[in-house]
Structure 1
Amino acid sequence: MSHPPQLFDISVSLHPALPGFPQDPPCRIASVAAQAGGFHVSQLSCSSHVGTHLDLAGHAGLWGYTGSDLPLKALIGPCRVVDLRHVSGLIGAEHLRSLDLAECRRLLLKTNNSHLWQKPGFCMDYQSLGLDGARFLGDLGIELVGIDYLSIEAWDGDGEVHHRLLRDGGVILEGLDLSAIDAGAYELICLPLKLACADGAPCRALLRR
């Protein structure tokens, strides 16, 4: 007997208290007066990198797709979740080399960051990917790399991790919540807002198994 597929929402909900990158505009959601006929409307103001979002090439000053012409095939398909909660410090090539990623094109890094969504404010001490790890994944031809906090690069990074992952047409998926997700194989379904800007876009991300 076949079982229906399981769907896991790995996005975070947008709300004014959601942690955001310190330099980014805060998330604001305000109710406005009811329109004629009694319909209610909310006004949303936020960064293009709020909550669960994609980083595109323009975020690192590179030429590439915008949120409105990005090929969706990069965002939908087989995906691997790897558990790196045992790693302290930067995630490096030595932590990734043993994971048998040869056939992987979409990779999500589960770290200890997912519990940070329950804490108020932005935390600068989050797990992130080191430059040698980014080079390793880039050399493998991985098209999408995701992580469970607001940046894949360390707080004091110089942008080189982003540059390496984005320069060959890759995308970065940040702001995930992987706290309830086991390591393993899934199908990723990630649909960004169709924004005509080149730096990034908020999105809804799901895993199907």
Structure 2
Amino acid sequence: MTTSVPRHMAETPRKIRDISPAVHPGTPVFPGDTPYQQQWCATIAPGCPVNVSSITLSPHVGAHADAPLHYDAQGAAIGAVALEPFIGPCRVIHAIGCGPLIEWRHIAHATAHLPPRVLVRTYAQAPVDQWDGALSAYAPGTIERLAALGVRLVGIDTASIDPADSKTLDSHQVIRRLDLRVLENLVLDDVPEGDYELIALPLKLTAADASPVRAVLRDL
């Protein structure tokens, strides 16, 4: 007698691409922000069976999701936002070397039939160990056009969707007005253009303006 293998057991596992930078004491942060620090509260020794540490960090360290509270005094904390935007079909678009702003012309080649999530790669190699004050950001009009095509989450491989020296945060204000979600500080160096499944769930921090995420892409 022969038996068939259930279909879900026979499928080849889909490749997972980690798009989160490593977080450690040297991880760069926005100038003036709180860097990552860790100390040991307990260590394995006679009379102590475990290692226990404490950490101090800005919720914007590494790959992270901004909450509306970050750019809106009356906005929701990250623990109150819906999770649906942070998981599901996603497109990675390359705009490497685009300059200060991601204009529509930099991504137009890959905007047909967009899924609800778009991540833009601007670096040939992300500077994960140093601060980049000349980072690329989104032009506000680019976010407007993406939203008009049904995009609900935008992401980028730099520290901000706005220029580092911006005082008006025009692209964040577009996000606020259109109720979009945002991921920043991703690492897309080894990710080809194309469609994936995004998984980048924020922590349920009930009063925070952002949350670290372990962002991954899974091949479709």
| TM-score of the superposed pair, with normalisation by structure 2 | 0.86
Q: Decide which of 172, 197, 201 is 2:207's aligned counterpart.
A: 197
Task: Tell me which residue corresponds to 1:61.
Answer: 72
Whether 2:161 is the aligned partner of 1:152: answer yes
**How far off its partner does 1:136 sit?**
2.1
Work out the CA distance in 2 between the residues paired with 1:141 and 1:60.
Answer: 22
Whether 2:69 is the aligned partner of 1:51: answer no
Q: Decide which of 12, 32, 43 is 1:23's aligned counterpart.
A: 32
Work out the CA distance in 2 between the residues paired with 1:151 and 1:124.
Answer: 10
| TM-score of the superposed pair, with normalisation by structure 1 | 0.90
Structure 2, unpaired ranges of 5+: 1-9
SS of corresponding position for 2:162: coil
1:29-44 correspondence runs (5 A): 29-34=38-43, 36-44=47-55
Q: Which moved more, 1:103-112 or 1:136-145?
A: 136-145
Alpha-carbon spacing, 1:100–1:115, altered in 2? closer, same or farther (3 Å): closer
Instruction: State the Cα deviation string for residues 4-51 of structure 1 (Å, max 9, x = none).
Output: 200011111210100111121111112223375331111100011111
Q: Which moved more, 1:193-202 or 1:90-99?
A: 90-99
SS of corresponding position for 2:53: strand
Work out the CA distance in 2 between the residues paired with 1:31 and 1:68.
Answer: 27
Structure 1, unpaired ranges of 5+: none
* Mapped contact 1:57–1:166 kept (Cα < 8 A): yes
Instruction: State the Cα deviation string for residues 117-143 of structure 1 (Å, max 9, x = none).
Output: 1x4x31101121122222222333311
Radius of gyration: which is bigger?
2
Q: Partner letter of residue 206 of structure 1? A: V
Report percent identity of matched pairs.
Answer: 33
Superposition CA RMSD, Å: 2.0
Q: Decide which of 112, 117, 138 is 2:147's aligned counterpart.
A: 138
Work out the CA distance in 1 between the residues paired with 2:124 and 2:162.
Answer: 13
